[in-house]
Amino acid sequence: MKELKERILRDGRALADDVLKVDSFINHQIDPLLMERVAEEFQRRFAHSGANKILTVEASGIAPAILLGRLMQLPVLFAKKQQPSTMGDFYISRSYSFTKQKECNLIVGRSYLTPEDRVLFIDDFLALGSTGMAVIDLCAQAGAQIVGMGFIIEKGYQGGHRTLLEAGVTHIESLAVIDSQENGQIRLR
Amino acid sequence: MKELKERILRDGRALADDVLKVDSFINHQIDPLLMERVAEEFQRRFAHSGANKILTVEASGIAPAILLGRLMQLPVLFAKKQQPSTMGDFYISRSYSFTKQKECNLIVGRSYLTPEDRVLFIDDFLALGSTGMAVIDLCAQAGAQIVGMGFIIEKGYQGGHRTLLEAGVTHIESLAVIDSQENGQIRLR
């Protein structure tokens, strides 16, 4: 996705320890017009997925997921990192956040993920694939089927794409793939 | 907002301890078409606010905020509850979550909230007004001006509206106001 790649090269910053800072337009401050075109691109790529539900995780996945849900007219479910007092029975799995350098829980209410669901998972980053693996686990617990996974940015050198393929996800789309970011230099595929 | 009120009466559930469960369409699973009309209503009510930035807090505020940002063509900033490793200098304030029954941090990168900003704050719930007060504090630290606050649902009996007015917020809009929810019976204003 050309516009996204140009924006990453212009406004993204490669920090130490393989962290890519895109918080001026994706995951802290959000450019809603760029995000709308991200959603349009996901819609195009997953038009034939047969999804009946979009799943994401709080917080950075919510913006692209809700814009895609609006376009595809599908309900959007976001996994929570803490169990709110309003939640009844739930599924839970654990994920490792690369940028936060720690594990976190992903929690979904049982009534919102069922064997009838054909899930399209959307997130901002694919790095090690840990969140994706937790989502696979949540869907397996619920008996839901994953029909695709879409990521705004993939760190191509961190192996998450292969991890998710090997776990059985057949349709993965990343709108921009970072091949390397050594010495502060972002190289896109 | 008639459609929202009807949906609250149909799908909302009044739990014990004044908790209103709307997680089938607002803050866990989201109906993006209802949320789009929520955003349209906010756009109408804040059309003359002069806002140049929309501010919300993760996670449940992001969906209405990004849809409104798309309509108003304004950048959307969401305050984080934990400091990510990518964040440099930041402002921080503390808020009490009514549903989670605990305090949390709200954190905004300094470069994204400045004295030039005329902030429209958007969130899913107004209850005690604690999050709104933390946002007032963040904006005061940054020298930013708050031009309005919009909430999808206000618990009219919890006093947050008055708290925010007394703190100097002159334009507050709530799309549905709960007057009481005693004995599982939701009463709307």
pLDDT confidence tier of residue A17, bands split at 50, 70 and 90? confident
Tokens of B25: 């369409």
Q: Confidence class of residue A85 from pLDDT cuts 50, 70 and 90?
A: confident
Q: Find the angle CA(A102)-CA(A132)-CA(A76) to the nearest 5 degrees.
A: 105
Contact between A101 and B63 under an 8 Å Cβ cutoff? The reply is: no
- Which residues of chain B lie closer than 8 angstroms to A108, CB-CB? 28
Candidates B19, B70, B86; nearest CB to A15: B86
Is A144 an interface residue toward B (CB < 8 Å)?
no
Helix runs in B59-174, H state only: 62-72, 130-142, 160-166
Q: For the segment B154-168, what is each residue's pLDDT rounded down to a tens digit?
A: 999 999 999 999 999
* Phi, then psi, of A29 in degrees rounded to 5: -90, 140
The per-residue pLDDT for A96 is 87
> Rounded to an integer, what distance in angstroms lies between the CA atom of residue B9 and that of residue B1?
13
H helix count then E strand count, chain A: 5, 11
Confidence of residue B85 (pLDDT cuts 50, 70, 90): confident
Contacts of A78 in chain B (CB under 8 A): 28, 30, 59
> In sequence order, which residues have a C-beta less than 8 Å from that of residue B92 and are 6 or more positions away?
B83, B105, B106, B107, B138
Q: List the one residue out of B142, B98, B103 whose CA is nearest residue B119.
A: B142
Is the confidence at residue A185, as pLDDT, over 80?
yes
Tens of pLDDT along A38-73?
999 999 999 999 999 999 999 999 999 999 999 999
Gap from A83 CA to chain B (nearest CA, Å): 8
B76: nearest CB among A32, A73, A84: A32
Q: Is A169 helix (H, G, I), strand (E, B) or coil?
A: coil
Which of helix, strand or coil describes residue A135?
A: helix
Task: Compute the average pLDDT of residues A75-93.
Answer: 92
A33 touching B, CB under 8 A? Answer: yes
At A80, is the secondary structure helix, strand, or coil? strand
A185 touches chain B (CB under 8 A): no
